[in-house]
Amino acid sequence: MQNDIDRDLYEILGVHRGASADEIKRAYRQRARECHPDVAHHDPAAEHKFKELTFAYEVLSDADRRRDYDAYGLEGLRRGAGVDFNGFSSISDLFDLFFGGGFAGPFSRGRGGRPGGPLPGRDMEAVVRITLEEVADGTDKEIDVIRMATCGECDGTGLMPGTHMSDCSRCGGSGELRTSRKSLLGTFVTSSPCPGCNGAGKVIDNPCGNCSGAGLARVSEKISVSVPPGVERGDRLVVRGKGEGGLRGGRTGDLYVAVDVEPHPRFKREGMNLRAALKVDMADAALGTSVDMPSLNGDFPLKVPAGTQPGAVLRAKGKGLPPRYGGRRGEMLVDVEVVVPTRLSGEEKKLLQALRDLGRKAH
């Protein structure tokens, strides 16, 4: 993100220099909805971006200011305002200079939308750790979750049963306070959430005794998570309705569960395939043999063909992992390591020497 006071105002709005007043207005409205702090509350830079955008719009939507800006850049605004821009590093700083702090913007309505309206609960996140064996077959896991659930006594209203909310006396039920300001660029009307009701427009005179008016109560519970076969590390599963509770009839959030797969001591995962190592002595590699090869579902017979070379890869179909939600399994890839003995008995030496001599005569 740029943080330079010389950043072009047309670039901030995303319009060309010849843009009409209508094009500038449309661009501002579209982008303001995207980066307003009430909407993009997960973006820590949202307020900074919104201030830049609003400053650019206020300058370019005014014919006189736009003419000064086109001719002289920000220097033209400085001359008209009669202030020194030294010490300011960003457009966001200039916004605060010209308009003051606490600007709520034209789309600010508070977290609850209309005053006193339904407020959906936040989504939550958790982690479930499973084994490779559980990846192969799927599993059900229980996880401990502490969450703020909708209060059962007041159904999320925060009210003592049988009572009602009343209009906030400070804002008259509007949920916001408006102030007319004279700035260096003109007179502007700014608004901010009412501190008396936190922007809701309503206040609780008789709070619920169970949640003290919060509408939410802390609960601890075990939640069952169904993990399908074939999941991978980093996959996210959704448990609907197990996030934080909603207020005033708002829906409950969801619980997003990230999957973490434990490392396996014998097998390495490669997508749907499993890779394993197998040590074979040189006589078995030369003559061929059959071994009991471990898998995630028990041992199975694996044929080692005669003449198997060091580094050969044997494949066992259907001994890998299934795709997500089940299906035909992948392969097990077995890397063969031929073991050469480091110590030989006298009889073993004679036999190997005889084998070597036979090989030389054959060639």
Dihedral (Cα; 47, 48, 51, 55), 10-degree rounding: -170
Inform me whether the pLDDT recorded for 255 exceeds 90: yes
What mean pLDDT do residues 334-352 have?
86
pLDDT at 1: 40
pLDDT at 26: 87
283 C-beta neighbours (distance < 10 Å), count: 16
Name the residue type at position 23: E
Domain boundaries, the chain: 9-99, 268-362
218-223 CB contacts, 8 Å cutoff, 24+ apart: 218/146, 218/147, 218/148, 218/149, 219/146, 219/147, 219/148, 219/149, 220/144, 220/145, 220/146, 221/144, 221/145, 221/147, 222/142, 222/143, 222/144, 222/145, 223/142, 223/143, 223/145, 223/255
107/105 Cα distance (integer angstroms):
6
- What tokens appear for 1 in the block? 């993100």
What mean pLDDT do residues 154-171 have?
87
203/205 Cα distance (integer angstroms):
6
How is residue 306 annotated by DSSP?
A: T
Inform me whether the pLDDT recorded for 258 exceeds 90: yes
pLDDT at 327: 86
Instruction: Band the pLDDT of 34: cuts 50, 70, 90.
Output: confident
Percent of the chain beyond pLDDT 70?
Answer: 81
- What tokens appear for 265 in the block? 């001591």
Order of strands across the sheet with 255-261? 124-130, 255-261, 236-239
350/333 Cα distance (integer angstroms):
36
What mean pLDDT do residues 231-245 have?
92
Domain 9-99 sits in CATH 2.40.50.100: no
Contact 150, 253 (CB under 8 A): no
270, 272, 264, 327: which is closest to 294 by C-alpha? 264
Mean pLDDT of the chain: 81
pLDDT per position as a tens digit, 118-128: 788 889 999 99
Strand extents, DSSP E, the chain:
124-130, 139-150, 166-167, 176-183, 186-193, 202-203, 216-227, 236-239, 255-261, 268-270, 273-281, 289-293, 300-304, 313-317, 331-339
Quick check: do 9-99 and 268-362 share a fold?
A: no
What mean pLDDT do residues 50-57 have?
84
55/79 Cα distance (integer angstroms):
17
pLDDT per position as a tens digit, 163-218: 988 888 888 888 887 776 555 445 555 666 777 777 778 888 888 888 888 888 88
Inform me whether the pLDDT recorded for 310 exceeds 90: yes
- What tokens appear for 15 in the block? 């319009």
313/332 Cα distance (integer angstroms):
10
61/205 Cα distance (integer angstroms):
45
202-203/216-227 β-pairing: unpaired
Contact 115, 202 (CB under 8 A): yes
Distances from the Cα of 157 to the Cα of 144, 227, 246, 334, angstroms: 27, 35, 9, 62
Domain 268-362 sits in CATH 2.60.260.20: yes
Largest CA distance in the chain: 109
